[in-house]
Amino acid sequence: MARKWHRWQDWAALVIGVLTALSPIVVSTDTAALWSLIVFGVLIAATALWSLAMPDSVASEYVHAVLGVLLFISPWVFSYADMTGAAWTSWVAGVLTVAAGLAALPEAQSEHRRLAGQH
């Protein structure tokens, strides 16, 4: 049986997601930045919970990476790159989310192969 709730990369993604979602409390935002940070933060946190609950899910780690890239580019896409706090939160959290997802990928793939071999 896979050990659930143990991978540090997924815990890191959960913390990143929660902090991103809460960051509008402490950084200046406009409507686009506010909703980008909240939505991406919640999605990253939800995906982290998915990864923690299902450690053999390779897809969840790829979703982390995609969400991280989308968060990273959101200041340009939603035109809040001039809002220093919100933009830097997006850039740093985006890079860290991609890193966490890619770092967990080998372990998730190994767990997936192990469980696939049991069937």
What is the pLDDT at residue 84?
Answer: 96
Burial code (b: 16+ CB inside 10 Å, e: under 16) for 71-101 equals bbebbeebebbebebbbebbbebbebbbbbb
HSE-up (13 A, CA, CB side) for residue 26 = 7
Tell me whether residue 60 is exposed, middle or buried, using C-beta atoms within 10 angstroms of its C-beta: 0 to 12, 13 to 18, 19 or more. buried
Q: What is the pLDDT of residue 59?
A: 92
Determine the Cα–Cα distance for residues 31 and 78; give it in Å rounded to an integer.
10
- Return the structure tokens found at 95: 């890079």
Q: Give residue 82's pLDDT.
A: 97
7 within a domain of the structure (yes/no) = no
Q: Containing domain of residue 103, as a range?
A: 15-117
Structural domains counted in the chain: 1
Structural tokens at position 52: 């923690």
Q: In this structure, is residue 10 part of a structural domain?
A: no
Residue 4 has what pLDDT? 81
pLDDT at 38: 98
- Find how far residue 105's CA is from the centre of its chain: 13
96 found inside a domain: yes
Query: Does a structural domain hold residue 85?
Result: yes
Note whether residue 1 is domain-resident.
Answer: no
Low-confidence ranges of the chain (pLDDT < 70): 1-2, 119
Q: Is 5 exposed, middle or buried (0-12, 13-18, 19+ CB in 10 A)?
A: exposed
